[in-house]
Structure 1
Amino acid sequence: MADSCCSSNKGEQPEDGVKSSCCSGASEVKVTTEAGESQGCCNGNAEDTATPEADNSKNCCSSQAAGETSEAAAKSCCSSESKSQKGEMAEYRIFGMDCPSCALSIEKGLSKLENIAEAKVNYTSAKLKVTGSDFEQVESEVQKLGFKVEPLKQNKNMKVYSVEGMDCGSCAKSIENHLNTIPAVNQVSVNFSTGKMKVEHKNSVEEIVTEVSKIGFKASLLSKNRPSTEETQKKGYGGIITSGVLIALGFAGSFTDVSTFLTTFLYAAAMVISGYKPVKSAFYSIKSRSLDMNVLMSAAAIGAALIGEWLEGATVVWLFALGTALQTMSMEKTRSSIRNLMNLAPSEAWIKVGSQLMKKPVEEVGVGDILVVKPGDRIPLDGEILKGESSINQAPITGESIPVDKEAGDTVYAGTINENGSLEIRVTKLAEDTTIAKIIHLVEEAQEQKAPTQAFIDKFAAVYTPIVFVLALVVMVLPPLIGFGTWGEWFYKGLELLVVACPCALVISTPVAIVSAIGNAAKNGVLIKGGTFLEKAGAITAIAFDKTGTLTEGKPKVAGIKAFNTSEDELLSIALTLEDYSTHPIAKTIVEFANERGIEPKSGEVFKSIVGKGVQATIDGVIHYAGNARLFEEKNIPLGGAEPVVQELQNKGKTVVIIGTNQEIIGVISVADSIRTTTVNALDGLKKAGIGQVVMLTGDNEGTARMISKEASVNRYFAELLPEDKVDAIKKLQSEGHKVAMVGDGINDAPALATADLGIAMGGAGTDTAMETADVVLMADNLEKLPHTINLSRKALGIIKQNIWFSLIVKFAALALIFPGWLTLWLAVLSDTGAAIIVILNALRLLKVSHTDK
């Protein structure tokens, strides 16, 4: 690929023989490189004629650009007009999609727009992501295809306002002209028909509202990400009811003396009312070279009318419209399972300014502002309590319905409920960065990722549909050409094949189940990062747990002190000096214990951490050690009289820290961690869910591991593990034929989490790292939700299989009934839309699965 740059209207010929060119004004250029690639660049009103073959890239540059061409690496400089320059990204919510082929039609339609570089539609989350330099035509293009579109977010400075008082289009123009005179306003667009104003500005919302009021109108900021679907769901039912009544009248009239012309007119009117939207959508789908259900159904209905089957044609269109409306309504229930989380956090907050309280949209609240939250209100933003005490219901974040007591210094999350007591909270995160916003973002991303089963079904459908479409054309033409039957008979069979050609129920079968399951998990405080991990969770046969902080509280306490030839305080002083530089939980426990007793540390130097064994430092010129028995064995320091003490403590399940020098053992400090209250119930639940191996991984000694494993009722344990040894333990389980999940904190256990088939992190509400790195995140810091997650995943896999088999059986049954002449057009439509509705309703059952279900 060659690099192209230019200055003014001058084209340059580089020495390597690869031509480059530039153009401006109204010029047009086409340049061919030695590799056979055509590249062009233009500016102003030039027409870009580039048609690259090798890398599908274009080359264009402004009249001011200057550059050079390199054989090793080619670069391109493009003007803002170039479609090859991706530019900014905007997101929209699409309403009315009832089949994944709808998403494909929208993508193809938008990709043809001049200033759109890329359009990606996800059917399950109903989100459209568009990359380009100008989004002015996006909404109108999507509406042409028969869908409703609503912008979600563009750049952070772009805000949407509602404007009251406009009575004509010139009012909108007046507002635009006035705001364009303000330096802080970069872009403004006012739509008179919708009463909405989009403004990209750098000044405050209050200033924009004030400027609009100056010219006689009232503006108010619309809260972000609060889409309403009720209007979309209800719209269109009137037309369906009207056309249904017309069909019924026509059908009843066919048994009386009513003229054929009148009954045909009634059927035709019903077709127009119910068929206008799908035919219009089909027209734009064909323009974008997309073969979706609207095209197939429109062709079938028009074909039926052409051969005089007006009742069939009208029934086909009416059933399709009804089925589409029911599918859309069912799908919106699935999509709203996550979207409703957006409404948990209030759209406005009370801010303390001096001694006054001011209500502001959450989007306008900054980090460091002071929130005032009254009893019974939801907390609008993440923050830290400055004043007050209360019980906070954190169910929206962690899935735990039992309120948590909070006081000054504690963290609170947006969307949680202040049960009692007034609170003053310092904001720590902006609206778009709150924990609940991240949950919504992660879950929507998860819903957009295809599971392996879904990817396979999509590939199958992509092959199946065109094959059946071509077969339908062959059936219409070939048999009557060779004299086998009449044209009307085979044309009708071909129309039936067209209807059966759309595998709607099949392609919906997997994504709806995945979206429902992920939505259910999110509401219960579990984040599943995508369909792939949902499927993996359902196949897990062994779960390995990190001991400290996972099975146990992770807050060990000093259980005993044994000093040899010195006092306890002297022993603790040495231990404090050594352990104060360690980040290990046990070291922190000893430091806290010594501080509580008022022990003063000694002067130490040359501190060194010995991974998996302990620490060392030089105190008063002598090297001191604090660690486990392996450390002293490695240093060839005999334990002497301390050995039986260490052995006895370890047999009681306690972790032992030995303090000594190269010459002697000074003393022993024992530390004990307690099992979480929820651990035993959680592990029993996993065994009931069919998990064959519940395994504990720990760096503790054999005695401690044995004691804890008995208390927790695990099947087996691996003791005295270094961090890298946990990876080997996971691999051993995998070599035994298990599908292994690893449960840890998402940071210290990262290698093991990555090695396991499924990585599960605990306590995601408190750590962004855990939310970002693990495959599954338990938002609460306990294991209670894990059995529910496994059960939910397995139910999801079962429902996916049910949906796939049901869809295939219905589809092949319809195909088999065509040629004997037993299938009618309206039955073909019913088999397709009816099967799709049943598949969706079956998947919706996953939203109702509770943690008590087995």
Structure 2
Amino acid sequence: MAEYKLKGLSCANCARELQEAIQKLENGQNAKVLYNSGKLIVDEQVNMKKVEKILASDGAFIVNKTDNGDPNRLTRTESHNHSHGHDHVHEHTNQKLKVLLSLATTVFILTIIFENNLPPSIAIGSFLFATAISGYTTFLKGLKNLTQFKFNIDTLMTIALIGAFSIGEWKEGTLVAILFGLNEYLEGLGMEKARKSMEELLKVAPKEATILDNGLEKIVPVGSLQKGQIVLVRSGEKIPSDGVILDGRSSVNEAAITGESLPVEKKVNDTVLGGSINNEGLLKVEITKAYEDSSLAKILHLVEDAQETKTPKELFIDRFAKYYTPLIIVIAILVMTVPPLLFNSEWGVWFYQGLAVLIVGCPCALILSSPIALVSGITRNARNGILVKGGVFLEQLGKIETIAFDKTGTLTKGEPHVLEVKQYDELFLSIAGSLEKSSSHPIAKAIMKKIMAESVPITDPEQLQTNSGQGIVGVINGQKYWAGNESNIGHINFTDKIQNDIHLLKEKGYTIVIVADKEKVLGIFGIADEIREESQQVIKNLYDVGIKQTVMLTGDHQKTAEKVAAEVGVTTYYSNLLPEEKVTKIKELTKTKHVAMVGDGINDAPALATADLGIAMGKGTDSAIETADIVLMQDHLGKLPEAIRLSKRVNKIIAFNISLALGLKIIALLLAIPGWLTLWIAILSDMGATILVTLISLTILIGQGQEKRNVTT
């Protein structure tokens, strides 16, 4: 399948009709015209001249061919001048439309002012001139549709214009043409604004990379990068793909991936993400993933694709719009004919009312009620480091009532940490450090981190023996020492105080490490998985945004689970769970509530998949991106409440937009019953709804200025 960038798509309904026309061509059955992202996807074998002819019938055209394998998207063989030329043409077309609408409006107003002083033929000619320059494209498309018995918005407008002029309503017919032209212009402008916001996000992808080839520097397209190649990244340049630093030290801005504005310090052997910016110094990086497999490429591809996933509301509106326009034409015919035939009413009056019904029937506002809001919501979340894989998941996030959290690595840091120390002898920390310094065990590392922070002197033991599952025995300065659990310190009878301290530490859910000599205990470490600094505030913020219940699921024992739940503020917890038991708990919760599961995307895949919504965290790990419906690109939960708040706002705006679009039309149609509906009211109700729906949807993008600066800094 080939992919093309389009310009000039006038409306979502028109895009659907273009798609249906292209699908009728040979090899065109799988073609897609994507309105939200302005793309055409079509089989390579289709006749592109015929495709371009179909697109031209609606004023759309191909800007350039894009490349699915490279999220930079522009095919390398395409001429940049060609692309720029089309962009210039599109801008010129927009400018031309603005000029024509301004001229038509000026002519219309001047004609009304001086109408009484002008010969009728001049006044009518002026109205027709204003109509022609503002609505000629609609009129021509509508006439073509009539010959093909195809009924859409352009057909409705054309019938209304012909009808208005046929009964001498020159003034109102002209106003219909001008306002409909303005309506289409503003509608296109609104969607273009949302698209441009998305395109700004896609621009974070680097275009070129400097590779080292046999010691020589060579600039290559980023799409050609392969695993194992060495690249040089100078100060201010973007890191072209995921990799590992071989040489150099710098701070790196990862805002494009995580949404976090603060730079991250990087040194040799640290991993770096494609799209992040090297702030200072020179980095030599070994590429670990070809660009198309990098975190950034996957993010951009998923975000772009997310624009086109239809929510249940959108699918309903699409089906509704397909039958809505023909239904409006039938209603208009009934309005024109039933009162005169059955109630002896005047034909002229009800013919006029029928024309007004046709204009009210335009489904523009209804069709636009969702897509601009959803694209804006997905884009703003992406700028904030939150990857939402589609509008349906954004909508679902706003409905969540219960959030279940994995404990380890999600609410906690996922690594042992010394949280409490009981010291009975001044040699305690020194002996503990000397015994544990050479061990690679996670608990030993936690102890060493604590000891290094205390700046305690340590020495190398003369002898060292590891007792698997129990601890270490070593000889230091001729004395024998033990470090480990109670079974490793079996040669000592613990005093009441020490037994009490051990009991209290265990009650808190800590793993204990006892350090002793031949005769006495020197001290005890209380070790546990450290709770993330932000966890307590995040849980509080979740309740503030309307979450009703938080649940923690963990394989740890009950005391540890109880302690963590109490500290972070989780209302319910389940401990000693195997992975399959987590899935069972999620199934139980989803029977009565909308449930999201939050995990690290590695060990929690079954639970993430079982929940109504899977949310993964962790700087774009492959498993997180592939498993979850929503990915928090930061390595923390801090931005989850804001994502929920934004999704609730998007849902409210879409519901309001649909109510507004249908409400104004129903009110206008009801005015037709007593014969009060005019062409002025009809077009203003339709245009007003479309403009309001567009502007209200675009408010979702307001406040993204800081996010944009974070990305482009």
Measured against the shorter chain, the TM-score band is 0.7 to 0.9
Counterpart residue number, 1:417:
277
1:484-533: per-residue Cα shift (whole Å, max 9, x none)? 33333222222111111222212211222222211111111111222222
Aligned partner of 2:579 among 708, 723, 728: 723
1:249 aligns with 2:110: yes
1:102-251 superposed matches below 5 A: 102-131=14-43, 133-137=45-49, 138-153=51-66, 159=75, 161=77, 196=82, 230=91, 233-251=94-112
Counterpart residue number, 1:343:
203
Mapped partners of 1:140, 1:351: distance in 2: 43
Counterpart residue number, 1:260:
120
Mapped partners of 1:552, 1:227: distance in 2: 53
Mapped partners of 1:657, 1:284: distance in 2: 84
The TM-score, its normalising length taken from structure 2, stands at 0.81
SS at 1:674's partner residue? Answer: strand
Counterpart residue number, 2:3:
91
Shift of the 92–305 alpha-carbon distance from structure 1 to 2, 3 Å rule, reads farther
Deviation at 1:748, TM superposition (A): 0.8
1:443 aligns with 2:356: no
Counterpart residue number, 1:827:
681
Q: Which amino acid aligns with 1:838?
A: L
Mapped partners of 1:301, 1:314: distance in 2: 8
Shift of the 131–699 alpha-carbon distance from structure 1 to 2, 3 Å rule, reads same
Once structures 1 and 2 are overlaid, which stretch shifts more, 315-324 or 551-560? 551-560
Deviation at 1:764, TM superposition (A): 4.3
Deviation at 1:425, TM superposition (A): 2.5
Mapped partners of 1:248, 1:107: distance in 2: 39
Deviation at 1:711, TM superposition (A): 2.2
Unaligned runs of 5+ in 1: 1-88, 165-194, 197-221, 563-567, 605-613, 616-626, 633-639, 659-667
Mapped partners of 2:66, 2:291: distance in 1: 13
Q: Which amino acid aligns with 1:711?
A: E
1:447-462 superposed matches below 5 A: 447-462=307-322
Deviation at 1:466, TM superposition (A): 2.2
Counterpart residue number, 2:565:
709
Q: Which amino acid aligns with 2:607?
A: A
Q: Which amino acid aligns with 1:305?
A: F
1:188-209: per-residue Cα shift (whole Å, max 9, x none)? xxxxxxx64xxxxxxxxxxxxx
1:275-290 superposed matches below 5 A: 275-283=135-143, 285=145, 290=150
SS at 1:816's partner residue? Answer: helix
Q: Which amino acid aligns with 1:824?
A: T
SS at 1:391's partner residue? Answer: strand
Q: Which amino acid aligns with 2:568?
A: A
Counterpart residue number, 2:624:
770
Q: Which amino acid aligns with 2:245?
A: I
Unaligned runs of 5+ in 2: 423-430, 451-457, 471-483, 488-492, 515-523, 708-713
Counterpart residue number, 2:651:
797
Residues 146 and 278, structure 1, Cα contact 8 Å, conserved in 2:
no
Deviation at 1:836, TM superposition (A): 1.0
1:738 aligns with 2:650: no
The TM-score, its normalising length taken from structure 1, stands at 0.69
Mapped partners of 1:155, 1:852: distance in 2: 30
1:806 aligns with 2:667: no
Residues 64 and 78, structure 2, Cα contact 8 Å, conserved in 1:
no
Q: Which amino acid aligns with 1:133?
A: Q
1:641-684: per-residue Cα shift (whole Å, max 9, x none)? 999997554313214699xxxxxxxxx99742111122122112
Mapped partners of 1:394, 1:714: distance in 2: 31
Once structures 1 and 2 are overlaid, which stretch shifts more, 486-495 or 833-842? 486-495
Mapped partners of 2:689, 2:94: distance in 1: 20
Counterpart residue number, 2:257:
397
Once structures 1 and 2 are overlaid, which stretch shifts more, 646-655 or 406-415? 646-655
Shift of the 783–469 alpha-carbon distance from structure 1 to 2, 3 Å rule, reads same
Aligned residues: 652
1:758-801: per-residue Cα shift (whole Å, max 9, x none)? 21101142x12211211111011100011101111111122122
1:495-510 superposed matches below 5 A: 495-510=355-370
Mapped partners of 1:801, 1:445: distance in 2: 23
Q: Which amino acid aligns with 2:38?
A: A
Counterpart residue number, 1:653:
509
Counterpart residue number, 1:756:
611
1:118-167: per-residue Cα shift (whole Å, max 9, x none)? 22223333333223512422233212222233344257699464669xxx
1:328 aligns with 2:188: yes
The structure with more helix, counted as a fraction of residues: 2
1:380-422: per-residue Cα shift (whole Å, max 9, x none)? 4333322211111111111111111112222323332222222
Residues 655 and 704, structure 1, Cα contact 8 Å, conserved in 2:
no
Mapped partners of 1:413, 1:284: distance in 2: 53
1:785 aligns with 2:630: no
Residues 307 and 374, structure 2, Cα contact 8 Å, conserved in 1:
yes
Counterpart residue number, 1:177:
none
Q: Which amino acid aligns with 1:760?
A: I
How large is the RMSD of aligned CA atoms in angstroms?
A: 3.9
Shift of the 253–392 alpha-carbon distance from structure 1 to 2, 3 Å rule, reads same
Residues 350 and 675, structure 2, Cα contact 8 Å, conserved in 1:
no
Mapped partners of 1:161, 1:295: distance in 2: 40
Counterpart residue number, 2:694:
840
Shift of the 149–480 alpha-carbon distance from structure 1 to 2, 3 Å rule, reads farther
Deviation at 1:687, TM superposition (A): 1.8
1:374 aligns with 2:234: yes
1:58-73 superposed matches below 5 A: none
Mapped partners of 1:227, 1:657: distance in 2: 71
Deviation at 1:561, TM superposition (A): 12
Q: Relative CO higher for 1 or 2, CA cutoff 8 Å, sep ≥ 6?
A: 2
1:681 aligns with 2:537: yes
Residues 342 and 437, structure 1, Cα contact 8 Å, conserved in 2:
no
1:493 aligns with 2:353: yes
Deviation at 1:362, TM superposition (A): 2.7
Shift of the 600–301 alpha-carbon distance from structure 1 to 2, 3 Å rule, reads farther
Q: Which amino acid aligns with 1:446?
A: A
1:169-223: per-residue Cα shift (whole Å, max 9, x none)? xxxxxxxxxxxxxxxxxxxxxxxxxx64xxxxxxxxxxxxxxxxxxxxxxxxx79
Shift of the 434–227 alpha-carbon distance from structure 1 to 2, 3 Å rule, reads farther
Shift of the 288–152 alpha-carbon distance from structure 1 to 2, 3 Å rule, reads farther
Deviation at 1:364, TM superposition (A): 4.2
Mapped partners of 1:163, 1:794: distance in 2: 43
Mapped partners of 1:539, 1:252: distance in 2: 54
Counterpart residue number, 1:217:
none
Counterpart residue number, 1:314:
174
SS at 1:377's partner residue? Answer: coil
Residues 176 and 683, structure 2, Cα contact 8 Å, conserved in 1:
yes
SS at 1:314's partner residue? Answer: helix
Counterpart residue number, 1:219:
none
Shift of the 140–424 alpha-carbon distance from structure 1 to 2, 3 Å rule, reads farther
Residues 233 and 329, structure 1, Cα contact 8 Å, conserved in 2:
no
Counterpart residue number, 1:464:
324
Residues 516 and 847, structure 1, Cα contact 8 Å, conserved in 2:
yes
Deviation at 1:833, TM superposition (A): 2.1
1:434-481: per-residue Cα shift (whole Å, max 9, x none)? 322322221222221122222233333334332221111233344444
Residues 559 and 670, structure 1, Cα contact 8 Å, conserved in 2:
yes
SS at 1:777's partner residue? Answer: strand
Deviation at 1:284, TM superposition (A): 5.4
